[in-house]
């Protein structure tokens, strides 16, 4: 099994096991002769001491990840008759199980393979749909006419084009299940619209609804599960990560990669400024495996896929030249803030400056995106309001029956550009809940009524905010609006807190699906980091991902 193989590889690499193990990396590193390798023991006449054989993290690594890497920095000269010339290659094979190698093959499949798969699945679906309806209407097979083949060609072309536009064929799609589902749905929706327009406006013929509907349905039922299966395989891939320099975030990144909190990476080690001043302890118990002048060789030796450079090091010309050399090796080079942002889905507010907002591509301010998002908001809010109208009437009735108080609770909130608006919710607390002043809601808050506790758990108390969305005060997806009496002190305590008001607040958001309800300044800081990530990466695709994940937690509630 891959897990046992990886653990054995780790134990073989450990200096504690050098006397007990019959073979493995030690024989390769020591340069044992072939006859000695077959006997499973080294010759007492020739002992070669391996140098640079380290296991990152000590005993803890085998419990954290089954893909722990074995690093061979250097070996003593190997006799010619041994024929063991590349010990680092054997170390990499031990660190990369068979499942990981299969995932690497899946990630490197060319786009044309995925396009061919989609075309095949779509054609099979349309053919089955057409034949089933023909057999149902009249026994026996009828001839396929030109219109049927035209539908296949148009739909297949539309699927390829729309899939390319939404990024369905990008390798990064396979890293997240929600991304796979959303991009498959977007591909189908756009492809159907394009096919309908082409068939009606350019070819002056109607699109066969039975063939198209069946083909698209079968395509979704096959293409999406195939990609989800590939997602499971891709998760076993561990890309080599090399950290250059030491900055304020590198320690957090190293610990997270070792714990497995950042999937898809294996930590190679840390590169220091110069060999003369090396600290053998490294960062924590992570060794420093080389100096800045050897970073290019380290990238090639350990098959490094990404290099993270400390921001303080990027100001030094020597480090800048090393980063360019890593690019020449085919590695992706990022600074620690960018890697933190990508890996965690949040922006470290304590480590950014106003320059971050000036250099970030804040797409939320683009006019074309604002129009698309507004159409999306109105469509979602109208559909949800119509569907939930009977439920909202029932909720209003039971709230009134409990204490004969007001049903709707109006509250001032801070919206886009710092403007204040009135937010509406179903009342979930007693009428005198804030007689002593405004306070954050706490766990097991005694002010919450019995009906309100159920509404909060199901998130049904937020339904009246559909009216705020239709009015334009809010959006479906965005940062949650805060009360003015909370915004002022938080803005004094947390840097860039007011920048969350660059876009409209939302009914749900990136912070709501990634962080539980919080009532402290530390919680507000973490949510701000998540909100800033959404503001930078705002898109229709991300909105759909947030909505899908919101549905998953809808019945669990935030409090």
* Predicted confidence pLDDT, tens digits, the chain (559 residues): 444 444 333 444 443 444 344 444 433 433 444 334 334 444 444 444 333 333 333 333 333 333 333 333 333 333 333 333 333 444 444 444 455 567 677 877 888 899 999 989 888 887 777 776 655 554 444 555 666 777 788 888 999 988 888 889 888 888 888 889 999 999 999 988 888 888 777 766 665 666 677 778 888 888 999 999 988 888 777 888 999 888 888 888 988 888 877 878 888 888 876 544 444 445 556 667 878 888 888 898 888 889 999 888 888 888 888 888 888 888 999 999 999 998 889 999 988 988 888 888 776 667 778 888 999 999 999 999 999 999 999 999 999 998 888 899 999 999 999 999 999 999 988 876 666 666 666 666 778 888 988 888 888 999 999 999 999 999 999 999 999 999 999 999 999 999 999 999 999 999 999 998 777 899 999 999 999 999 999 988 899 999 988 887 776 544 4
Euclidean distance between the first and final Cα of the chain, in Å? 42
Contact by Cβ (8 Å): 158, 198: yes
For residue 425, with 0-12 CB atoms within 10 Å meaning exposed, 13-18 middle and 19 or more buried, which class applies?
middle
Domain residue spans of the chain? 2-95, 106-234, 239-344, 365-553
Residue with tokens 């239709």: 470
CA–CA dist 260, 515 (Å, integer): 19
Q: Which of 558, 465, 554, 536 is nearest to 506 (CA)?
A: 465
Q: What kind of architecture, by CATH, is found in domain 239-344?
A: 3-Layer(aba) Sandwich (3.40)
Whole-number Å distance between alpha carbons of 508 and 531: 11
> From residue 94, how far is each of 70, 91, 100, 229, 372 by CA, in Å?
8, 5, 11, 24, 50
């Amino acid at each position: 099994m891959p897990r046992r193989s990886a653990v054995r590889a780790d134990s073989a690499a450990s200096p504690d096991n050098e006397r007990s193990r019959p073979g493995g990396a030690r024989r390769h590193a020591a340069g044992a002769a072939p006859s000695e390798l077959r006997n499973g023991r080294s010759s007492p006449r020739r002992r070669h001491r391996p140098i640079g054989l380290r296991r990152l993290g000590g005993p803890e690594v085998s419990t954290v990840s089954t893909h722990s890497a074995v690093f061979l920095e250097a070996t003593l000269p190997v006799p010619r008759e041994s024929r063991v010339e590349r010990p680092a290659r054997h170390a990499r094979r031990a660190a990369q199980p068979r499942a990981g190698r299969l995932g690497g093959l899946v990630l490197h499949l060319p786009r044309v393979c995925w396009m061919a798969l989609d075309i095949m699945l779509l054609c099979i679906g349309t053919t089955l749909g057409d034949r089933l309806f023909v057999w149902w209407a009249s026994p026996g097979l009828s001839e396929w006419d030109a219109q049927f083949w035209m539908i296949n060609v148009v739909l297949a072309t539309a699927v390829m084009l729309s899939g390319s536009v939404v990024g369905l064929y990008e390798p990064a799609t396979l890293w997240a299940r929600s991304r796979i589902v959303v991009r498959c749905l977007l591909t189908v929706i756009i492809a159907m619209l394009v096919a309908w327009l082409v068939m009606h406006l350019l070819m002056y013929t109607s699109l066969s609804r039975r063939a198209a509907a069946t083909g698209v349905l079968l395509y979704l039922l096959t293409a999406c599960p195939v990609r989800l299966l590939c997602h499971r395989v891709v998760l076993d891939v561990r890309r080599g990560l090399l950290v250059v320099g030491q900055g304020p975030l590198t320690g957090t990144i190293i610990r997270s990669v070792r714990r497995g909190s950042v999937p898809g990476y294996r930590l190679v080690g840390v590169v220091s400024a110069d060999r003369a001043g090396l600290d053998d302890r490294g960062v924590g118990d992570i060794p420093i495996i080389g100096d800045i002048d050897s970073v290019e060789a380290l990238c090639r030796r350990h098959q490094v896929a990404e290099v993270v450079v400390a921001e303080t090091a990027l100001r030094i010309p020597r480090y800048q030249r090393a980063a360019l050399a890593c690019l020449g090796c085919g590695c992706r080079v990022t600074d620690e803030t960018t890697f933190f942002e990508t890996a965690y889905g949040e922006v470290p507010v304590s480590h950014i400056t106003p320059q971050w907002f000036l250099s970030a591509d804040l797409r939320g301010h683009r006019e074309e995106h604002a129009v698309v998002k507004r159409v999306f908001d109105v469509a979602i809010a109208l559909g949800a309001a119509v569907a939930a109208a009977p439920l909202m009437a029932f909720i209003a009735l039971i709230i009134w029956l409990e204490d004969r108080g007001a049903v709707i609770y109006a509250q001032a909130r801070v919206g886009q550009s710092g403007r204040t608006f009135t937010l509406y919710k179903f009342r979930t607390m007693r009428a005198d809940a804030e007689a002593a002043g405004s306070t954050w809601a706490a766990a097991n808050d005694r002010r919450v009524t019995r009906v309100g506790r159920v509404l909060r758990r199901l998130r049904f108390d937020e339904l009246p905010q559909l009216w705020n969305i239709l009015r334009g005060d809010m959006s479906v997806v965005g940062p949650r609006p805060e009360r003015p009496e909370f915004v002022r002190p938080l803005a004094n305590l947390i840097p860039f807190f007011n920048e969350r008001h660059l876009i409209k607040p939302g009914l749900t958001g990136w912070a709501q699906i990634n962080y539980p309800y919080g009532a402290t300044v530390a919680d507000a800081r973490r949510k701000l980091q998540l909100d800033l990530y959404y503001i930078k990466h705002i898109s229709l695709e991300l909105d759909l991902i947030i909505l899908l994940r919101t549905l998953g937690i809808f019945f669990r509630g935030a409090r």
